[in-house]
Structure formats: structure tokens, C-alpha cells
């Protein structure tokens, strides 16, 4: 059993050539911090921190994309053609949606109130991943940063 002595990081694959634009979006929209940037096997990798989580923006290998028998990982072919949705708890959903749009994101679901009376919305990042934004409710702990 792992318990609480672990950390989790994600590798998000984007179409080759969208690595920088996507990383810049995470910085501008969500306040992510770039930690490292390097090239590996002709693909750009950008390591970031978003609160306590590590995120690596990775270029998707065009050779794997052309030969699906190699299996993934692949980038979203179209916005929302993904197998995961990322949920981000934020202090002000409207402000984050505004920053996301200004940074090149596209609104997927407008700001609305959920059944727990929180403001929620969702956006596509420039690479087509879906980010659900949930406003921190009263009495809930602050998001870790």
C-alpha cells in the first residue's frame, strides 16, 4: 500500500509543434510554472508544476500516430477526443475562464451553478484536452499550490 507517501504527475501528449503553445496556455490560464524544457527523441518535453502536481507537455510522435498498431499515447485528434478530463478547483471560475480564453482556450461549457451551489465551467486547452473548472465552495480547503 502506498498511503500518503507518493506524488502524481501527468504526461499530456499534444500534436507535435503545439508543445510551447500548450505550456504557455497552462502558465497564463492556470498559473503553472515551467520547471524544465528539453528535447528527447526529436520531441519537445516541457516539465511544469500546477499546484502540487507535475505536468509534462509532450509532443506526440508522428510515427506512432501514423502506425496505430504501435498503440499510444496519441494527442487528441479533435478537441475533446480524449480519455480523461482534468478537474481543477480554483478560487474564481469566471476569472480563470477569462484568462483561459485570453490565453487561447475555447469555452466548452459556460459558467453555471452545480448542485452544490458552486460555479463550474469547462474549457478546451489549445491541444484539445478538457479542463473542468470548479469554484472552491465555502468551507472547503484552499487549493494546494
Measure the CA–CA gap between 8 and 39, rounded to whole angstroms: 22
Position with higher pLDDT, 76 vs 24? 24
Identify the DSSP state of 69: G
Cis ω before 67 (30° cut-off from 0): no
pLDDT in tens, 88-113: 999 999 999 999 999 999 999 999 99
Please give the pLDDT value at position 42.
78
Window from 42-56, 74-88, 101-115, 125-139 with minimum mean pLDDT? 74-88
Largest CA distance in the chain: 50
Contacts of 57 (CB under 8 A, 6+ apart): 12, 14, 19, 22, 23, 26, 44, 45, 46, 48
* Domain range 9-66+76-135, its CATH number among 2.170.120.20, 3.10.180.10, 3.10.20.600, 3.40.50.150: 3.10.180.10
Helical pair 93-102 and 19-30, crossing angle rounded to 10 deg: 150
pLDDT over threshold 60, residue 141: no
Amino acid at each position: 500500500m502506498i498511503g500518503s507517501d507518493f506524488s502524481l504527475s501527468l504526461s499530456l501528449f499534444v500534436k507535435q509543434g503545439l508543445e510551447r503553445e500548450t505550456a504557455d496556455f497552462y502558465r497564463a490560464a492556470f498559473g503553472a510554472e515551467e520547471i524544465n524544457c528539453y528535447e528527447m527523441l526529436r520531441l519537445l518535453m516541457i516539465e511544469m508544476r500546477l499546484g502540487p502536481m507535475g505536468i509534462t507537455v509532450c509532443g506526440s510522435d508522428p510515427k506512432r500516430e501514423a502506425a496505430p498498431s504501435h498503440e499510444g499515447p496519441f494527442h487528441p485528434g479533435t478537441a475533446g477526443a480524449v480519455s480523461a478530463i482534468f478537474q481543477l478547483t480554483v478560487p474564481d471560475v469566471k476569472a480563470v475562464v477569462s484568462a483561459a480564453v485570453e490565453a487561447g482556450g475555447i469555452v466548452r461549457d459556460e459558467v453555471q451553478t452545480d448542485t452544490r451551489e458552486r460555479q463550474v465551467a469547462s474549457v478546451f486547452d489549445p491541444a484539445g484536452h478538457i479542463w473542468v473548472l470548479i469554484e472552491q465552495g465555502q468551507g472547503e480547503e484552499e487549493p494546494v499550490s
